[in-house]
């Protein structure tokens, strides 16, 4: 009787242990299924991450090539700009020399035109001041046209001298040739007209420098 009760107790304990084992086995199976599903998702994430990394590397290599090409272009542009700055600086210096020579020529022509005139000529100027100030004489117009032509020739020679530095003395000689201004370029005693002619000559010089750019 006692042995039967002991065997029954062992059987009950064994059943309880088997139930607990079955419960934990089922729970472990569920967790394993969750881990397997997460492993598949993790594998897909790893695959996507690898693809994104490859695309990033490709984009980075393209960016490096583009940056290198841009840097090369910028360096070439900088070298060209430096050469153009040197040429422009040389042309500006030549233009200043030509402007100084032109100013000296205008002053010389003004001093030459300040010679004593006849009493009859002064009477004509007093009689018709508006006519003298309003209309330019043909000699003065021809003198201004010749001055413009000589200025254009001098600037063209300055351009050639900027690229080939061998003809600098010739360009300076052509600038000095502008000094020789005839007396018939400015009317006698008209200071306002002389100032206008001087301002017009400087504007022509600035236009020529802008055209050279």
Q: What is the pLDDT of residues 53-82, one digit of tens each?
A: 999 999 998 998 888 888 888 888 888 888
Look at the block and give the residue holding tokens 């020579």: 101
Which residues, including other chains, have CB under 8 Å from residue 209's CB and lie 6 or more apart? 91, 92, 95, 155
What is the model's pLDDT at position 52?
92
Name which of 181, 173, 123 is nearest 153 in CA terms.
173
Query: Do the Cβ atoms of 197 and 144 come closer than 8 Å?
Result: yes
Contacts of 138 (CB under 8 A, 6+ apart): none
Across 3-22, average pLDDT:
85
Q: pTM of this prediction?
A: 0.31
| Token pair for 49 | 């991450």
Measured distance CA(149)–CA(160) in Å, rounded: 17
Separation in Å, CA 55 to CA 52, 58, 187: 5, 5, 81
Residue with token string 């530095």:
165
**How many Cα atoms sit within 13 Å of 148 on the Cβ side?**
11
CB 105 within 8 A of CB 179: yes
Give the position of tokens 């000296």. Answer: 104
The arithmetic mean of pLDDT across residues 129-155, rounded, is: 51
What percent of the chain lies above the pLDDT cut of 70?
A: 51
pLDDT for 177 beyond 50: no
CB atoms within 10 A of CB 10: 10
d(CA 204, CA 46): 74
Q: What is the pLDDT of residue 193?
A: 65
Q: Where are the domains of the chain?
A: 76-212
- Of 211, 100, 197, nearest to 145 (Cα)? 197
pLDDT in tens, 94-138: 888 888 888 888 888 877 766 544 444 444 444 444 443 344 444
């Amino acid at each position: 009787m006692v042995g039967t009760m002991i065997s029954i107790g062992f059987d009950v304990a064994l059943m309880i242990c088997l139930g607990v084992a079955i419960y934990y086995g089922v729970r472990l199976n569920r967790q394993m299924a969750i881990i397997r599903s997460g492993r598949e998702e993790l594998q897909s994430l790893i695959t996507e991450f690898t693809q994104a990394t490859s695309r990033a590397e490709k984009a980075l290599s393209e960016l490096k090539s583009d940056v290198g090409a841009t840097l090369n272009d910028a360096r070439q542009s900088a070298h060209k700009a430096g050469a153009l700055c040197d040429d422009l600086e040389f042309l500006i210096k030549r233009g200043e020399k030509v402007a100084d020579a032109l100013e000296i020529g205008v002053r010389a022509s003004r001093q030459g035109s300040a010679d004593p005139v006849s009493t009859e000529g002064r009477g004509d100027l007093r009689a018709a001041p508006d006519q003298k100030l309003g209309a330019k004489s043909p000699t003065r117009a021809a003198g201004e046209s010749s001055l413009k032509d000589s200025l254009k020739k001098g600037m063209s020679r300055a351009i050639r001298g900027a690229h080939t530095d061998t003809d600098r003395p010739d360009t300076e000689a052509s600038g000095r040739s502008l000094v020789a201004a005839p007396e018939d370029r400015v009317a006698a005693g008209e200071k306002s007209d002389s100032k206008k002619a001087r301002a017009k000559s400087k504007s022509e010089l600035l236009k020529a420098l802008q055209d050279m750019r």
